[in-house]
Amino acid sequence: MTSKIQDVQLFKPDAFEDFRGDIYTTWDANEYPQLNWRLDKFSHSRKDVLRGLHGDFSTWKLINCLYGEFYLVVADNRPESPTYKQWEWHVLSATNRKQVLIPPGCGNAHFILSDNAVFHYKLAFDGTYNDVEKQFVIKWNDPEWKFEWPHNNPILFSRDK
């Protein structure tokens, strides 16, 4: 799988399946030994909720969907990047098992397509993680970015309006 945004990586892990179900590895440190995974987060949201667009300039994020389905937007907010101000979307679901590795300087947002969704982020950073203090916010409807969403009236947190 490919991405048009520099340094964004898309993965679909192979699964071992048998009569009990399946199992797959979400991350193998041998692939990117330089990433210092420090924090794991799980989030649950309901249909039509939009979380984000947030990011910072020091955190790598690996995002996947454990239950349901969501529309993930990744936006390159790195002024020095050749893909600055470009964005892309991917549908992540428990069924397709796609994962996205997002570099520092890119923001991301999740728009929930199914009745409920549970997603997981794995975060790598140096120093102390600052969840809100050092984050940038890109408005979901910023006319300069021209984002396309599956719904034009999402449920938003006050910070994202």
What pLDDT sits at residue 141?
95
Q: 35-38 contacts: CB < 8 A, separation 24 or more?
A: 35/60, 35/124, 36/124, 36/125, 36/126, 37/122, 37/123, 37/124, 38/123, 38/124, 38/125, 38/129
Q: What is the pTM of this model?
A: 0.88
What pLDDT sits at residue 3?
85
What's the mean pLDDT in 60-85? 96
Euclidean distance between CA atoms 109 and 71, whole angstroms:
8
pLDDT in tens, 15-51: 778 776 777 677 777 777 788 888 888 999 999 999 9
Amino acid code (one letter) for 27: W
Residue with tokens 């990433």: 35
What pLDDT sits at residue 47?
96
